[in-house]
């Protein structure tokens, strides 16, 4: 797999809210959505400031960071008209989002909703680790020209938003009838398949005789053989290991205990001590060839030798469960949480709409995509 860059990792962490809303913005969205927005193009503020929200400045460095992250995360390019259009929407969406965040932080402060220092530090460390650790984090600060203090403020802003949402929605509840109605209406909706559908699954055990071709080639290659000699040696070793698996399969067919042989001979350290037990799993849990072979078996049936990139497997099938729709009592808690999350979002959106209209905002014309 390709190594994810620090910039992409940080984009995934910090720009998700912006991306979710950006493509709904038209070019004059900020002017229409906010109330007392200064339209005077004679910006008298610091050029390194994107906007001033009731006296609080929004740094251009933070805006630039989000813009770079967003362009990369969304795969946008200015080389074509559609890319330029989406970048314009992204720019305006970022300004809008940063203004909203400033409004949320200021109101949290007015309400006395203080974020504990230890929570800020804990979230800060979590974000740094998600970026790849201290060195990757420092490199990212250098790349984006934001400061550690600005990054900490971003982290604090996340927590402020969570506190405000909790404060605004503390009286919200979900009536049982709402959950039941949601279940009745949506249980066959593909959009909610992950919630309502329990996919086909099965239990199985396996014995693995490890035989990774590349690993064997590297091990044997250390002896200084020529390429032709190396190819023959790898093929010989693969055949030996297949023969070992065939011998175990023969023993099983003659009545040997599967778990006993797995504990003694399997090369899978994750299942060996459990007698090869893989537990309950769905399709796509393992390599395609393994899953295809496993799901084709009937309970208690043995497979033939199954070769994957890991080596040679012998599979013994257990219980097989067909796909089914989960009962209401099984998903009630998840439904309630989902409905509560939706109500909280709606409450925050309604509050923000009113707060925007009452706010005094001045936007640097350099960061306006177009005039209204």
Are the folds of 6-174+340-367 and 200-322 the same? no
Full-model pTM:
0.66
Does the structure show a pLDDT above 80 at 186?
yes
pLDDT of residue 168: 92
**At 306, is the pLDDT very low, low, confident or very high (cuts 50, 70, 90)?**
very high
Split at pLDDT 50, 70, 90, the class of 195 is very high
**Separation of alpha carbons 288 and 277, rounded Å:** 19
What is the tens place of the pLDDT at every residue in 214-244? 888 888 877 777 888 888 999 999 999 999 9
Q: In this predicted model, what pLDDT tens digit does every residue of 143-183 receive, in sequence order?
A: 888 999 999 999 998 899 889 988 999 999 999 999 999 99
CATH of the domain spanning 6-174+340-367, picked from 1.10.4030.10, 1.10.1740.10, 3.40.50.620, 1.25.40.10: 1.10.4030.10
Range in 144-153, 180-189, 256-265 the model is least confident about: 144-153
What the block records as the tokens of 185 is 């209406």
Q: Phi, psi (5° rounding) for residue 261? A: -65, -35
**Coil/strand/helix, residue 201:** strand
Contact 204, 313 (CB under 8 A): no
Strand 36-38 to 360-363 pairing: parallel
Whether 52 shows a pLDDT value over 80: the answer reads yes
Residues 232 and 221 sit within 8 Å (Cβ to Cβ): no
Quote the CA–CA distance of 160 and 85 in Å, as a whole number: 32
How many C-beta atoms lie closer than 10 Å to residue 371's C-beta? 10
DSSP 306: E
CB 105, CB 124: distance < 8 Å: no
Domain with residues 200-322, CATH architecture: Roll (3.10)
The band of 36, judged by pLDDT with boundaries at 50, 70 and 90, is low
Structure tokens at 197: 């559908």
Task: State the DSSP code for 204.
Answer: E
SS (H, E, C) 29-44: HHHHHCCEEECCCCCC
Show the DSSP H helices in the chain as ranges.
6-14, 16-22, 29-33, 60-74, 81-110, 117-130, 134-144, 148-168, 176-186, 193-196, 213-221, 227-253, 258-265, 288-295, 328-358
CB 352 within 8 A of CB 161: no
Q: What is the mean pLDDT of the chain?
A: 86
- pLDDT for residue 34: 57
Q: In the chain, what percentage of residues exceed pLDDT 90?
A: 61
Look at 67-76, 119-128, 146-155, 288-297 and tell me which has the smallest mean pLDDT. Answer: 67-76
In which band, very low, low, confident or very high, does the pLDDT at 72 lie, cut at 50, 70 and 90? confident
> Residue ranges per domain, the chain?
6-174+340-367, 200-322
């Amino acid at each position: 797999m390709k190594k994810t860059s620090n910039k992409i990792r940080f984009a995934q962490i910090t720009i998700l809210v912006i991306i979710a809303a950006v493509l709904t913005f038209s070019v004059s969205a900020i002017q229409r959505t906010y109330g007392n927005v200064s339209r005077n193009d004679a910006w008298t503020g610091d050029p390194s400031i994107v906007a001033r929200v009731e006296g609080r400045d929004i740094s251009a460095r933070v805006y630039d960071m989000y813009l770079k992250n967003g362009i990369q995360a969304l795969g946008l390019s200015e080389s074509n008209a559609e890319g330029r259009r989406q970048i314009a929407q992204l720019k305006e969406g970022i300004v809008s989002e940063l203004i909203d965040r400033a409004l949320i932080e200021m109101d949290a402060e007015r309400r006395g909703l203080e974020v504990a220092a230890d929570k800020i530090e804990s979230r800060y460390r979590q974000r740094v680790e998600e970026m790849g650790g201290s060195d990757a984090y420092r490199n990212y600060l250098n790349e984006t020209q934001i400061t550690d203090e600005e990054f900490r403020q971003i982290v604090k802003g996340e927590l402020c938003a969570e506190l405000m949402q909790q404060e605004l929605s503390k009286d919200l509840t979900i009536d049982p009838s709402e959950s039941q109605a949601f279940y009745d209406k949506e249980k066959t909706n593909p959009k909610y398949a992950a919630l309502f559908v329990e996919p086909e699954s099965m239990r199985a055990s396996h014995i693995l005789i490890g035989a990774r071709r590349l690993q064997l080639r590297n091990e044997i290659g250390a002896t200084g053989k020529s390429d032709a000699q190396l190819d023959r040696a790898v093929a010989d070793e693969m055949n030996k290991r297949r023969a070992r698996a065939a011998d175990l399969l023969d023993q099983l067919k003659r009545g040997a205990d599967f778990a006993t042989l797995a504990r003694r001979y399997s090369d899978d350290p994750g299942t060996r001590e459990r007698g090869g037990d893989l537990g309950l799993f769905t399709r796509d849990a393992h390599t395609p060839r393994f899953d295809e072979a496993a799901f084709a078996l009937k309970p208690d049936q043995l497979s033939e030798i199954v070769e994957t990139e890991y080596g040679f497997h012998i599979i013994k099938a257990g219980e097989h469960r067909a796909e089914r729709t989960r009962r209401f009592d099984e998903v009630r808690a998840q439904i309630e949480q989902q409905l509560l999350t939706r109500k909280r979002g709606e409450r925050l959106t309604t509050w923000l709409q009113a707060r925007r209209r009452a706010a005094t905002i001045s936007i640097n014309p350099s960061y306006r995509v177009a005039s209204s």
